[in-house]
């Protein structure tokens, strides 16, 4: 590129590009990309409502997408995380219902669950290889994470329990009951670094359908098969299990704020409680307790209503929420600023179930979406290790 004459791409409302010459000005590649991204953000923020999702193929055999990716949508100028030269990629497909992505930084791989197929899969950053049967059977596992000793922790729908895979290959059952009754079907899980405590949700989907676990006999009479849906905490020292909240109707994905002083919880209660709204809750953390429950954000968007399933927080305190069941133009990922305002969107052709940050710099967003695994680089990092 000649320094005396640069071509700057200016995005138009329909996502195509026009070119204008800039004479006598030298611009670095970094500056060029920053300017292109900023221009795109301004245009998209003012035109997104009028522009539908584009017809598009994904995967290694797909036609190239013209940068900037039109399915990464800026809704608010605070969404400064779209890269002008990064595209959404489909890394793998063929699952029945993909869930629970978790990044292993030491091994440089991503694991996730295919709940109906009763297995966990692994994607290798080294060569993009996907290995099936990483754990098979997996107990119809859903949510996964790694603790601060590098051990995998998983929520099993089929066995209705939380387990930890030890370094020697043994399996430790961390929770399978509360108050002398079994759990419904643990769903998602996070680990607190200060005390090693494990926090998990128990909405019970695995006990409500044979497809994702084992339908409990009482599911014919109750949408909470064994006990009230709730959020639990496992003490790392004693193993004691305490119920910390039960306000959400179907507590699903959960994550901590960057400073670990708040807990965010996705509520998919509308799936079985029709009068309830799909929303994300936020709680204050007071030691081993949750206080001050309140609505952080709702999943209503442009006249459509879907739900958030998995959620993760970035280093700036934004919440990245998987979004599904709202239809084309809605499903994918919705990004909320710390004040609960929706500032960005990643549109996918499938219902997005869960997500996590990973990669060498923790700046790659991995998204499990129905039958596929997607990824995109963003200009931020995940707040936590997985």
Contact 250, 272 (CB under 8 A): yes
Task: Give the distance, in angstroms, between the CA of residue 290 and the centroid of all CA atoms in the same chain.
Answer: 22
314: which DSSP letter? B
For residue 20, pLDDT over 80 is answered with: no
**Does 88-377 carry CATH code 2.40.30.170?**
no
For residue 4, pLDDT over 60 is answered with: no
Condensed to tens digits (0 to 9), the pLDDT of residues 191-237 reads 999 999 999 999 999 999 999 999 999 988 899 989 999 999 999 99
Nearest to 191 by CA among 102, 121, 128, 131: 102
For residue 17, pLDDT over 70 is answered with: no
Catalytic hit among 69, 114, 309, 314: 309
């499938």: which residue's tokens? 350
In this prediction the pTM is: 0.87
For residue 74, pLDDT over 60 is answered with: yes
User: What HEC string does 57-119 produce?
Assistant: CCCCCCCCCCCCCCCEEECCCCCCCCCCCCCCEEEEECCCCEEEEEEECCCCEEEEEECCCCE
Nearest to 154 by CA among 196, 216, 112: 112
The tokens for 171 are 């399996």
For residue 11, pLDDT over 60 is answered with: no
Task: Give the distance, in angstroms, between the CA of residue 354 and the centroid of all CA atoms in the same chain.
Answer: 4
Q: What's residue 12's pLDDT?
A: 36
Element (H, E) at 32: helix 29-47
Task: Return d(Cα 177, Cα 227) in angstroms, integer.
Answer: 10
188: which DSSP letter? -
Query: Binning pLDDT at 50, 70 and 90, where does residue 133 land?
Result: confident
Q: Where in the chain is the domain with CATH 2.120.10.30?
A: 88-377
Annotated binding site for a divalent metal cation: 99, 252, 309
pLDDT over 70 for what percent of the chain? 86
For residue 272, pLDDT over 80 is answered with: yes
Task: Return d(Cα 182, Cα 158) in angstroms, integer.
Answer: 12
Condensed to tens digits (0 to 9), the pLDDT of residues 88-102 reads 999 999 999 999 999
Q: What's residue 26's pLDDT?
A: 42
Select the more confidently predicted residue: 15 or 109: 109
Task: Return d(Cα 63, Cα 289) in angstroms, integer.
Answer: 51
Annotated binding site for substrate: 187
Q: What's residue 52's pLDDT?
A: 55
Give the least confident one: 44-48, 60-64, 266-270.
44-48
Using alpha carbons only, what angle is made at residue 174 by residues 173 and 177, rounded to the nearest 5 degrees?
A: 95
Q: What's residue 63's pLDDT?
A: 87
Annotated binding site: 99, 187, 252, 309
Average pLDDT estimate for 353-361: 97
Element (H, E) at 154: strand 152-156
Contact 347, 331 (CB under 8 A): yes
Contact 154, 174 (CB under 8 A): no
Q: What's residue 5's pLDDT?
A: 35
Average pLDDT estimate for 173-190: 98
Average pLDDT estimate for 145-150: 96
Q: Would residue 309 show up in a list of annotated catalytic residues for this protein?
A: yes
Work out the number of other CB atoms within 10 angstroms of the CB of residue 76: 15
For residue 25, pLDDT over 70 is answered with: no
Q: What's residue 62's pLDDT?
A: 85
Select the more confidently predicted residue: 33 or 350: 350
């Amino acid at each position: 590129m000649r320094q005396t004459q640069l071509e700057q791409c200016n995005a138009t409302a329909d996502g195509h590009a026009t070119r204008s010459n800039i004479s006598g000005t030298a611009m670095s590649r970094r500056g060029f990309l920053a300017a292109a991204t900023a221009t795109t953000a301004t245009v998209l923020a003012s035109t997104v409502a009028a522009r539908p999702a584009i017809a598009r193929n994904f995967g290694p055999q797909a036609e190239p997408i013209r940068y900037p990716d039109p399915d990464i949508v800026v809704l608010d100028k605070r969404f400064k995380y779209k890269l002008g030269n990064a595209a959404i990629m489909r890394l793998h497909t063929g699952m029945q219902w993909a869930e629970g992505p978790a990044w292993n930084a030491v091994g440089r791989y991503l694991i996730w669950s295919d709940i109906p197929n009763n297995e966990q899969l692994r994607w290798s950053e080294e060569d993009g290889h996907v290995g099936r049967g990483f754990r098979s059977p997996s107990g119809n596992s859903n949510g996964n994470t790694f603790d601060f000793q590098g051990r995998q922790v998983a929520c099993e729908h089929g066995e209705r329990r939380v387990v930890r895979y030890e370094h020697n290959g043994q399996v430790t059952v961390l929770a399978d009951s509360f108050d002398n009754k079994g759990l419904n079907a643990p769903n998602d899980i996070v680990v607190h670094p200060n005390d090693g405590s494990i926090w998990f949700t128990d909405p019970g989907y695995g006990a409500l359908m044979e497809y994702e676990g084992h339908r409990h006999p009482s599911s014919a009479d109750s949408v909470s098969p064994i006990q009230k849906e709730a959020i639990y905490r496992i003490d790392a020292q004693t193993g004691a299990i305490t119920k910390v909240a039960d306000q959400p109707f179907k507590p699903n994905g959960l994550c901590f704020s960057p400073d670990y002083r708040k807990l965010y919880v996705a509520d998919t209660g509308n799936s079985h409680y029709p009068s309830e709204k799909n929303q994300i809750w936020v709680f204050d953390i007071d030691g081993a307790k949750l206080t001050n429950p309140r609505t952080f954000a709702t999943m209503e968007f442009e006249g459509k209503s879907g739900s958030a399933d998995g959620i993760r927080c970035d280093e700036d305190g934004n919440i990245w929420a998987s979004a599904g069941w709202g239809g084309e133009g809605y499903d994918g990922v919705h990004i909320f600023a710390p004040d609960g305002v929706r500032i960005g969107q990643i549109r996918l052709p499938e219902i997005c179930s869960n997500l996590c940050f990973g990669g060498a710099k923790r700046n790659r967003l991995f998204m499990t979406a129905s039958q596929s695994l997607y990824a995109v680089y963003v200009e931020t990092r995940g707040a936590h290790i997985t």
